[in-house]
Amino acid sequence: MNQTAEQDQGGASNPSQNPAPSWVNGMQGQKVLLQISISSSGDVVNKIEWKFHPKNSRSLTVVESQGGKTLRLNPSDRFGERLEAVNETTLLIKDLELEDAGLYEAQVRRSSAENEEYTFNLTVHKPVPELQIRPRLASHTPAGCDVTLQCQAAGPGEFAISWRGGNPLQCLEGSADWYQLSGNGTDLHLFWEPNPLDSKFTCQASNAVDQKEASFDLLSICSDEDLQGPFVSVVAAEIKAGRQAVFKGLFLLAGNHRYPWDIGPRSEELHEDRGVYAQLSMPWQSSEQVT
């Protein structure tokens, strides 16, 4: 960008008096306003020029205001109808494209030798894609679930991933005794003790202008009901009925697994207050798949 050549044509600019550059974020497909606030003190404003300095091509003068008139100098330039001069101090850019990123400059020329320059550094971001959470259940026991939740985006982009969960609700960062993040924050590994009050976990993807969220309820894969099988109901029915029963070689069915039960050789009338004389004959981790 060669500002000196432009300044020499209409007076000098004092960098120490120019406003600090403004950093502006826009989203692809949306609109953005660039607005300057001209000081009322000083000499009369003769002309205002708006220029665009793209990152990889030549500078372009897009709007000029002089004598109370604002002109769109070249309506057939790369902006076309997407760029509009709302007034002499405000530019509107609609349907933002990624190539619209760059430096926008408003040169205010006064009747005196000193002028003013206002600059905007515009960054155009892609929208954050839609998200989904994919669960991977490693194990499920009465004590809880060992599970990984993976936050997946429907498309590419530059964004940050964060997680929320727990009771009370909190942002999950780094690691703790019950969870750990990996994969640049996309994977949440946790051991969750079943509790309806904190079963929902949410991942969020965000950039400077947009954000998306997706949530997953661990009760859908880690409910205690998944560990109940029909034989548990049979035992309960026998107790309530007060019938004599001897249970040997039964299996507790839990989802698509079965767990052998070893029940002592009792041939007495079972009552509810005596409980069920039963013991797991193998640990939960050594389950046998039912085929």
Mean per-residue pLDDT of the chain: 77
| Pairing verdict, β 200-206 and 32-35 | unpaired
Query: In this predicted model, what pLDDT tens digit does every residue of 31-57 receive, in sequence order?
Result: 999 999 987 776 788 899 999 999 888
List, in sequence order, the alpha helices (H) in 154-205. Answer: none
Percent of the chain with pLDDT strictly greater than 90: 52
Least confidently predicted of 59-73, 155-169, 232-246, 259-273:
232-246
Q: Does residue 90 have a pLDDT over 90? A: yes
* pTM of the shown model: 0.67
Q: Which amino acid is it at 76?
A: S
Sheet holding 160-165, edge to edge: 170-172, 160-165, 200-206, 211-217
The pLDDT, as a whole number, for residue 232 is 39
- The 8-class DSSP code of residue 227 comes to G
What's the angle, vertex CA 148, arms to CA 147 and CA 150, rounded to 5?
A: 150
How far is the C-alpha of 30 from the C-alpha of 127, rounded, in Å? Answer: 10
The pLDDT, as a whole number, for residue 16 is 54
CB 263 within 8 A of CB 177: no
The pLDDT, as a whole number, for residue 235 is 37
The pLDDT, as a whole number, for residue 249 is 42
Q: Does residue 129 have a pLDDT over 60? A: yes
Helix (H) / strand (E) containing 6? helix 3-10
